Amino acid sequence: MKILLVGGGGREHALAWKLAQSKHCTKLYAAPGNPGIAQVGECLPIGAEDIDRLLAFARQERIDLTVVGPERPLIAGIADRFRAAGLRIFGPSKAAAQVEGSKAWAKTVMTHFAVPTAEYHVFQHVDEALRYVGSHQEPLVVKASGEAAGKGVFVCADQDEARRALELIMKDRAFGPSGDTVVVEERLAGEEASMLALVDEYNIYMLESCQDHKAALDGDRGPNTGGMGAYSPAPVVTDRVLALVQREVLVPMVHGMRTEGAPFAGVLYAGIMITAGGPKVLEFNARFGDPETQPILMRLRSDLVTAIEAAIDNRLDQITLEWDPRPAVCVVMASGGYPGNYEKGKEITGLDKAAAMPDVAVFHAGTRAEGGRIYTDGGRVLGVTAVGDSIIEARDRAYEAVRAIHFHHAHWRTDIGAKAIRRMAGA
């Protein structure tokens, strides 16, 4: 089977690493890929959003399966174009990808179908949004409604922070047209978790739980990023929470999207806040999470291609995924200054030493190769991921690998997994 993977980040490297292990995969292409993906497949000089060229390549090479990593091509309708051409592709339609492409639309569906979420208001004019913020003393969350690579959400402690967020999004146009509409909602209290599920026309198959770390700095301080690390499983997701998420979140949301004329098929990601009153949805994404995919796929023992094929063919009720019971921890190494301004082109050393460590995988996110060397080429540079017999062992192993890797102004959080460790210790 010839497989085309769309994307070139850390999530895509993890997907490529797992897809290449499949007994079904005879050739793996990635567009555009990255130096890490080049170790397991052939990288193509085609951008992830260049749907015309991707479609032409898939037709020419008779690609058997296309797997889409990033949200932007999904929101732009790549799945519709490929299906119309008779090609097999894993990912939701343009209509269904609205669940990530429009937070306002997703909130409307949640409201209509009783999916638990924060109370909210939607604004298209900054003056109206500012007046609303001025009349509320409680902490608020301000979100650009459109896709913003995980950086368009501002968790505000007071009115001043909320005003600055609104001005950044709607006046300064920090996220372009994604900020034409904003969602202002109550700030929920609790602990976050990421729940991903394979979805077909009839079935929902939940993957192992995970916890992301959005904030740039230790202690969940600093601006939101695309994700500074993750671990799986998340101890906060008990069997009871898992059942509630499936029954009260995923089932009604999938039903609601179908009823609204946007049936979902692919990976549905639910960002959940586990509150004293039960799990509530923070956001939905229409694809694998990043960096959640890295530790989740490190633990997946089953053939990923088999699972994807079952989802495409509406056979998810016929598969059983097997998981490594050991936890996995992913630590993101970022460029100094991320998610703000940062420099590229810093040489990376120690990659081979880290990758040679047992139960460690180094997933490339923002890198480029030149003259036999690897250089930084993005904000999030690497996702150093390790498995261990305990969350402590997995964490220690990941950080040992991180310390073996060097590039100028490298930045990482030092507390990935700390919440899980405290919870497991009963603190």
Task: Give the position of tokens 């979140």.
Answer: 249
Average pLDDT value over all residues in the chain: 96
Determine the residue type at 69. Answer: G
CATH of the domain at 375: 3.90.600.10
Cis peptide before 35 (omega within 30 of 0): no
DSSP single-letter state for residue 188: P
For 259, 276, 277, 279, 302, the CA distances from 113, given in Å and listed in that order, are 10, 22, 18, 16, 34
Range of the domain at 290: 191-318
Q: How many domains does the chain have?
A: 4
Distance CA 291, CA 345 (A): 22
> pLDDT (tens digit, 9 = 90+) per residue, 336-366?
999 999 999 999 999 999 999 999 999 999 9
Distance CA 405, CA 42 (A): 25
Determine the residue type at 296. Answer: I
Is 344 found in the same domain as 293?
A: no
Is 264 found in the same domain as 229?
A: yes
**Is residue 120 in a domain?**
no
Identify the domain boundary among 274, 290, 318: 318
Query: What is the residue-wise DSSP string for 13-51?
Result: HHHHHHHTT-TT-SEEEEEE--TTGGGTSEE-S--TT-H
Identify the domain boundary among 318, 337, 369: 318
Q: Which residues of the chain have pLDDT under 70?
A: 427
Is 130 found in the same domain as 86?
A: no
Distance CA 145, CA 147 (A): 7
pLDDT at 147: 87
pLDDT at 224: 86
Is 199 found in the same domain as 305?
A: yes
Is 308 found in the same domain as 226?
A: yes
Determine the residue type at 173. Answer: R
Is 290 found in the same domain as 200?
A: yes
Is 88 found in the same domain as 146?
A: no
Phi, psi of 116 (to 5 degrees): -65, 125
Is 273 found in the same domain as 372?
A: no
Cβ-Cβ contacts under 8 Å for 340 (sequence gap 6 or more): 223
Distance CA 367, CA 386 (A): 20
Dihedral Cα 199, 201, 204, 205, nearest 10 deg: -60
Cβ-Cβ contacts under 8 Å for 199 (sequence gap 6 or more): 205, 250, 254, 264, 265, 266, 267, 268, 311, 316
Distance CA 89, CA 317 (A): 20
pLDDT at 196: 98
Instruction: Please report the sign of the dihedral spanned by the C-alpha atoms of residue 19, residue 24, residue 26, residue 32.
Output: negative
Q: Give 280's strand partners.
A: 273
> pLDDT (tens digit, 9 = 90+) per residue, 237-250?
999 999 999 999 99
Identify the domain boundary among 276, 297, 318: 318
Closest alpha carbon to 200 in 287, 264, 249, 288 = 264
**Percent of the chain residues past pLDDT 70, beyond the cut:** 100
Structure tokens at 206: 């939940």
207 and 196 Cβ atoms separated by less than 8 Å? yes
pLDDT at 427: 52
Phi-psi region of 62 (alpha: psi -120 to 50; beta: other; left: phi over 0): left
CB count within 10 Å of CB 357 equals: 16
Distance CA 74, CA 93 (A): 7
**Is residue 71 in a domain?**
yes
CATH of the domain at 6: 3.40.50.20
Is 136 found in the same domain as 28?
A: no
DSSP single-letter state for residue 187: P
Is 171 found in the same domain as 82?
A: no
Q: Provide the b/e sequence for 281-292 (b: ≥16 CB within 10 Å).
A: bbbbbbbbbbbb
**Is residue 113 in a domain?**
no
pLDDT at 30: 98
Is 301 found in the same domain as 334?
A: no
For 48, 84, 139, 163, 260, the CA distances from 30, given in Å and listed in that order, are 9, 21, 43, 42, 33
> pLDDT (tens digit, 9 = 90+) per residue, 110-129?
999 999 999 999 999 999 99
Is 294 found in the same domain as 227?
A: yes
Distance CA 352, CA 419 (A): 30
pLDDT at 151: 79
Distance CA 172, CA 375 (A): 32
**Is residue 298 in a domain?**
yes
pLDDT at 136: 87
